[in-house]
Chain A
Amino acid sequence: MSWKTEILLVGAGQGDVLRLDAPISFWGGIDPETSRVVLAGHPQHGQQIADKMVAIPNTVGSSSSSAVLLELIHQGIAPAGIILGRPDAILPIGGIAARQMGWRPPPIVVLRDHSLQSGERISICEDGLVQLL
């Protein structure tokens, strides 16, 4: 199975899906030192997003989410890819900044109304195609 997506930050990667079942802001929601979900009461609280294909239905647009993503990339604990349910204006900036530093950012794409489940293995291609492996 495969889906066409809208590309926010071009790139390729593969990994296991981690589906976040509630909206989150990277700033205040993800610990930049461990990549764990730290938002109190979040269904995936305590899980690490490092190396995952993290599927996020909805981000809460905090203006420092870009800085948290850059920090995750710099620490080598960024997700392998980010699949958003709707566009986020700020998050991809962290990826653009990472690329300018010579650090490889994860691809970020928008895929509305998908049914990706945690544990499924997927890939994202440079053309934005998401494939179930």
Chain B
Amino acid sequence: MTLRLTDEEKAILAGGKGTYGDRMAMEVVAESARYLGAKSLVPVASSHIDGCLYHGDSGTLYCEKLVDQGARVRVPTSTNVGALNLLKPDQCRLEPHRKKMAFRLMVAHEKMGCAPSWTCAPYQAGARPSLGQQIAWGESNAVAFANTVLGARTNRYGDFLDIACAISARAPDFGLHIAENRTARLVIDASDLPARLLQEDAFYPVLGALIGRLAGETIAAVTGMPDNVSEDALKALCAGAASTGAVALIHIVGVTPEATTLKAALGGLVPEVTITLTHEMILEARDALSLSQSEIINSVALGSPHFNTTECKSVLRLAAGRGFEIPFFICMGRHTFEELKSDDTLQDLEHLGIECVVDTCVVVTPILPRAGGVMMTNSAKFAHYVQGNTGHAPIFGTLRECVLSAQSGRVIRDPDVWS
């Protein structure tokens, strides 16, 4: 299969059009398109950049070279989390050199014209691509949400390809950009599960984590779901699935836009496999998110994906004015942080002792208390990554369990939730 480029794309590659930075970006997009087997490049309408998180000096130097060579994004582009809370730089304990380079990396993205959103939930910060729109997004949960909930079309774009797509306003035309690659091959049936369980918020991240393990890279269609699943539940589900598997799209029949019917989700074909979920499978998936049997917890962290105002207010309601025995973190974008200031919410959260982690999150940069502790969370994504990234062992719980446990410093369970 040969990659065919337009005259304009060829001109940019040959250096006859645009800046050297444009040429660098086009080279990355075109070369990846070649090895991915794409026949052409597809124009994209927006981008979300995961490459602004510091992994070493080389990434900073690369992005600064793009800036120096005149590269600027040509489509609306949001940024995922960086390694720093820019509103409170002392919150993270990176050593000074790394902190400086992490900061320079974030600045380089602003200089390229990215909107400084610094959030892993851009879709709740104003970036809402439309059904069928071609986009080039990074960050696994955002990719899964954009494809699944919004019906926009993107693959999982990795570091440097994401910004290259934003600069060239193009992506390799392969995978989920192409309609026939978006149909489900696997059916996951939830209709045997207790109906009450499907009304619990905590069910959704667990279901996501289970879908990730069952589906891997295969697109699944989930049947038997209630039609009133909230957007925040879908957000937690997508993040869970994209953590435990390379999931970029799930069809939830009767809920998500490309799955009005099972037949539509399957593209009229017969599924290769059908898996009927049992109550035991859900309980096992829930238990797999806890890697500690400890009764004592050292912190609670929420907000992966970043919490929104409604989710923050739920914490306040559950806490009912009673403070915490242990550090309590909520990760959020600055759009939410600003919203919380518009009434008493931020003040009330801080009064309880909650630490708002803005622009970043506790599993990508050292913010949690020193390693070796136990962290409780209602996020499947935090539960999946926290041990490897920070040395803290996760305990998964419902939002109410997290709040009550933080108030006592010990794990408090709500046995009725999972029955």
Contacts and interface: CB of A to CB of B under 8 A. Distances in A.
B159 A63 contact: yes
Contacts of A92: 31-32, 35
B24 interface: yes
User: Secondary structure at chain B's binding surface: helix, strand, loop or mixed?
Assistant: helix
Given A61-B158, A64-B159, A90-B161, 16 more contacts: A9-B35, A32-B55, A40-B388, A63-B50, A63-B139, A64-B50, A67-B51, A70-B56, A71-B59, A75-B56, A93-B161, A94-B159, A96-B27, A96-B32, A97-B160, A100-B24
A80 to B, nearest CB: 19
A87 B32 CA distance: 11
Interface in B9-54: 24, 27-28, 31-32, 35-36, 50-51, 53
A8 interface: yes
A73 to B, nearest CB: 7
Interface of A: 7-9, 27-28, 32-33, 39-40, 60-68, 70-71, 73-75, 87, 89-90, 92-94, 96-98, 100-101
B61 A93 contact: no
B58 A66 contact: no
Interface residues of B, number: 33
B140 interface: yes
A74 B160 contact: no
Nearest to A62: B158
B53 A87 contact: no
B58 A63 contact: no
A27 B55 contact: yes
A7 B56 contact: no
A63 B55 contact: no
B160 A66 contact: yes
Contacts of B159: 63-67, 90, 93-94
A60 B384 CA distance: 15
Contact of B28 (A39, A64, A74, A96): A96
Contact of A65 (B24, B139, B157, B158): B158
Nearest to A103: B58
B156 interface: yes
Contacts of B139: 63
B158 A101 contact: no
B208 interface: no
Contacts of A87: 35-36
A67 B389 contact: no
Nearest to A74: B58
Given A63-B158, A87-B35, A96-B28, A71 B55 contact: yes
